[in-house]
Amino acid sequence: MPCPRTLLLSACLDPECAGPRRSLILAHVRSCPICAAELDALRCLSDDLRALPDPEGAPEAFRAWRMRPDAGRRDPSRRRSWRQGAFWWMRLPAGLAVAASLAAGVGLANWSLPAAGSARSVAAAARLDVFDAVPPGGLCAAGGLCGTPQERT
């Protein structure tokens, strides 16, 4: 059980104790060396407590909070899927537009296939030309056979 004096002096440290009560206590402290020493000790204690350094190892709660899979969620019963939403039908035009553009893309690809096929066959034929007896761009299999008579002489 602390001395009642200490209880009164402790209250005097805090701003909640104001007015005539505080004035009375302080008036007594001025004339009483024991209470003055006690109040001084309490003041030093209070100052030291406020000067205590923060303990190390503070958590990174914010990061952990964000990383927890269930952290950002409210009550699951309150969540609704977009199908259950009141305005789900407003998304229908956008869906239809996407489907139409996909279909058009596939149709265009099929329509252009023959042209692409012929181009591929021409390229394949060109590659085979290197095995031909007539070199690409040449007129005859052997240059000497097609020469003019003047050239032969």
Partner 1 sequence: MELFALLSVGAGVNADADLEDVRHAVRASAGDARAYSWLVMCHQGPVYRYLVRLVRVPETARELTQDTFLRAFQAIPTWRPEARFRTWLFRIAHNLALDHLRRAKHVRLEPLEAGADVPDPAPGPERRLETAQRMRRLEQALAALAPAHREVLLLREIEEMSYEDIARALDLNLGTVRSRIARARAALLAVLRT
Q: How far is the CB of 33 from partner 1 (least distance, A)?
A: 17
Residues in region 60-89 near partner 1 by CB under 8 A? 61-62, 64-66, 68, 71-72, 74-75
Q: How far is the CB of 89 from partner 1 (least distance, A)?
A: 25
Helix/strand/coil percent split, the chain, to 5: 65, 0, 35
Please report whether residue 14 would count as binding partner 1 according to CB under 8 A.
yes
* The one among 58, 94, 124, 139 contacting partner 1 by CB under 8 A: 58
Residue window 34-53: x/- pattern of binding to partner 1, with contact defined by CB under 8 A? -------xx--xx-xxxxxx
Residue 137 contacts partner 1 per CB under 8 A: no
Q: How far apart are CA 118 and CA 82, in angstroms?
A: 48
Residue 35 buriedness (CB in 10 A; 0-12 / 13-18 / 19+): buried
For 128, the enclosing helix (H) or strand (E) is helix 113-128
- For the chain, the straight-line distance linking the first and the last C-alpha, in angstroms and rounded, comes to 140
Interacting residues of 71 by C-beta distance below 8 A, sequence separation 6+: 65
Among 20, 31, 54, 125, binds partner 1 (CB under 8 A): 54
- Residues near partner 1 (CB under 8 A): 2-3, 6-8, 10-11, 13-14, 16, 41-42, 45-46, 48-59, 61-62, 64-66, 68, 71-72, 74-75
